[in-house]
Amino acid sequence: MGLSGDQDSPGSKLNLHLNHTHKDSAPATTSEVVATVLSLLEDGQMKPAQFARLQIHLDWLQYKHNFREAVTVMQGGEEQGEGAAPMEIRIDSRQVAPGSLRALLQNAMHPAKPDEDTGRIYFEGFRSFRTSIVWEFNRLYWQRLKDWEKATGKSYEQALPGGKSDGNQAQGVAEAAADFWTLLKDLESQNRLPQEVFILEIGVGLGKHAGLWLDSFCALDQGRGTNFYPRLRYLLGDYSLATLEHCRPAVKNHLDLCSFIALDAMDPIKTLSFLRHKVLHVHSTNMYDNLPDEEVVWRDSRIFWVQSRAYLPPGDAARISKACDVAVADIPTIVDRLLDVGIAALPDRAKGMIFWMEVWNAMRTEEKLVDAVDMPDASFPAGLSSAHMEDILRTAPNDLRFHLSPGALESFRNTLPLLHPRGYLQVQDIFATDLQDYSMGFHGPGKLDGSIVNWVNGALLREVAERAGYDLHFAPFKYRPGSKTSVLYTTRRE
């Protein structure tokens, strides 16, 4: 929801966007924001030219841990004048402490010059978020999950909202297994049932979904007197060998039917090309939301790319330096070593773990907007050209910031060729099923322990599916009240 307040001075206009409906006692109310900005303008601490190009977004970030500070500024690039991108101030009302808004806004409105030392520890230059170092931390988490779980004393699932994955809800899994049995029965009646029935799960986690699904299908198959179960070939795919090893106990009763395959979730056809058009069912849960992502802004019929760079705030850098007995200047070098060898980056592995967790928790990102015309080499995800994106966005709201979900789109496109003509893809995840969804609420990136979570742009997934000749629809996850999960189904168009 956007609120615009015209002021008495000619040509002055305050653009304030209320991006949430959360009823919270946070002090950063719309009236306080307006009053504070106007006082800064009256006191001369804000220039009229800044005010003319200013947009303020008032958010409430439901992810307690994220990459934003309480108040952040996003410059609109080098262009000046009427065609310039506006400067954005984003305020997270959840983080703003009482009485601090004016000082935070002052600091945001007067960012340091390029040659000034802010005390921030930068890990990269401005770049597409999908290429940011934060995804290297995400990879580290999954590769060395046992280290993180040992340090926190809780499993990955316990870190999820509700303390468990929707993919492991027993009734939902049982009904999914029953649906698959019905498909096999139909194929058998048409004498089209393959001798080997391939099922692929991508992003297996602890293997609980696979174990529950196989248990349910086996019991159903025996109870109904069919003999489909022995023909199953259940493929558990993940890029982390440690994760694949970790999930074995969950399917111990079905090991003869299981294969554990190291694969790239964004390009499964590369590893499984021998199964082209042979897989009858592909499943994943909370995998798309953990793949590399970035955002764009649609404003005044123009596309702007959101570029970012990761950093540590100076106070956090000093605290980490003291806690881990490392020099502040050495932090970037130790981070590089951490991403390579894990907690052995420091001689004291316990301090190595503390270093990892504290750097990750404190890491933030600066952002800037870059007009798409100034980035001719920037590319949209495969299947979506610039012209196609503009066509999709013609009916979208103005001033819309949304995810491109390139990792999810790439995974989706590279999974479809595996599907049998009667096969289907089922994905349980958090989806923005319409571009309008991005007009309200925060959709990431957020942090779940050591990993990243982003809502997935389901609207773009639907566009790519249609262009590839597939039908795609979403259904609510009905097995847990209040769940944000949706279930994506994809089948070949008849």
% of the chain exceeding 90 in pLDDT: 59
- One-letter amino acid at 416 equals L
% of the chain exceeding 70 in pLDDT: 91
Query: By three-state DSSP, how is residue 163 classified?
Result: helix
Averaged pLDDT score across all residues of the chain: 88
β-sheet bridge partners, residue 424: 281, 491
- One-letter amino acid at 59 equals D
Model pLDDT, residue 33: 84
* Across 11-20, average pLDDT: 72
Element (H, E) at 195: none
* CA distance readout (Å), 310 to 67, 138, 148: 8, 14, 22
* Across 259-280, average pLDDT: 97
Sole residue written with tokens 């168009």: 493
φ, ψ for residue 105 (rounded to 5)? -65, -40
User: Is residue 441's pLDDT more than 60?
Assistant: yes
- What does the DSSP assignment read for 68-135? --SEEEEE--S--STTSPPEEEEEETTTPPTT-HHHHHHHHHSPPPTTS----EE-S-SEEGGGSTHH
User: Is residue 9's pLDDT more than 70?
Assistant: no
Query: By three-state DSSP, how is residue 65 classified?
Result: coil
Q: Looking at the structure, give the CATH architecture of the domain made up of residues 159-292+382-492.
A: 3-Layer(aba) Sandwich (3.40)
Torsion sign across C-alpha atoms 105, 115, 125, 324: negative
The 8 Å CB, 24+ separation contacts for 103-109 are 104/70, 104/71, 105/36, 105/37, 105/40, 105/71, 106/40, 106/45, 107/71, 108/71, 108/72, 108/73, 109/40, 109/45, 109/46, 109/50, 109/73
φ, ψ for residue 233 (rounded to 5)? -130, 95
Model pLDDT, residue 380: 86
User: Is residue 116's pLDDT more than 80?
Assistant: no
* Across 479-494, average pLDDT: 90
CB neighbours of residue 1 within 10 Å: 10
- What does the DSSP assignment read for 429-476? E-EE-SGGGGGSS----EEETTEEE--EEHHHHHHHHHHTTEEEEEEE
- 186-230 confidence digits (pLDDT tens): 999 999 999 999 999 999 988 999 999 999 999 999 999 999 999
- 306-362 confidence digits (pLDDT tens): 999 999 999 999 999 999 999 999 999 999 999 999 999 999 999 999 999 999 999
Question: Whole-prediction pTM value?
Answer: 0.90
Model pLDDT, residue 85: 53
Sole residue written with tokens 């001033």: 399
Of 98-102, 250-254, 284-288, 357-361, the range with the lowest mean pLDDT is: 98-102
The pair of three-digit structure tokens given for residue 341, joined into one six-digit string: 């060898």
β-sheet bridge partners, residue 127: 308
Sole residue written with tokens 């468990």: 164
**Which is it for strands 13-18 and 54-59: parallel, antiparallel or unpaired?**
parallel
Evaluate whether 369 touches 305 at the Cβ level (below 8 Å): yes
Evaluate whether 18 touches 30 at the Cβ level (below 8 Å): yes
* Across 289-305, average pLDDT: 91
Q: How far apart are CA 156 and CA 145, in angstroms?
A: 8
Of 10-24, 43-57, 247-261, 314-328, the range with the lowest mean pLDDT is: 10-24
Model pLDDT, residue 426: 97
Q: Note if the bond before 417 is cis, omega within 30 degrees.
A: no
- 34-71 confidence digits (pLDDT tens): 888 888 888 877 777 777 777 888 888 888 899 999 89
CA dihedral 113, 117, 123, 124 (to 10 degrees): 30
The residue extents of the domains of the chain are 1-111, 159-292+382-492
The pair of three-digit structure tokens given for residue 387, joined into one six-digit string: 């012209």
Q: How far apart are CA 104 and CA 90, in angstroms?
A: 11
Evaluate whether 205 touches 157 at the Cβ level (below 8 Å): yes
* CA distance readout (Å), 483 to 136, 265, 426: 29, 25, 17
481 DSSP assignment: T
Of 81-90, 168-177, 439-448, the range with the lowest mean pLDDT is: 81-90
User: Is residue 126's pLDDT more than 70?
Assistant: yes
User: Is residue 80's pLDDT more than 60?
Assistant: no
Model pLDDT, residue 398: 82
Sole residue written with tokens 């504070």: 36
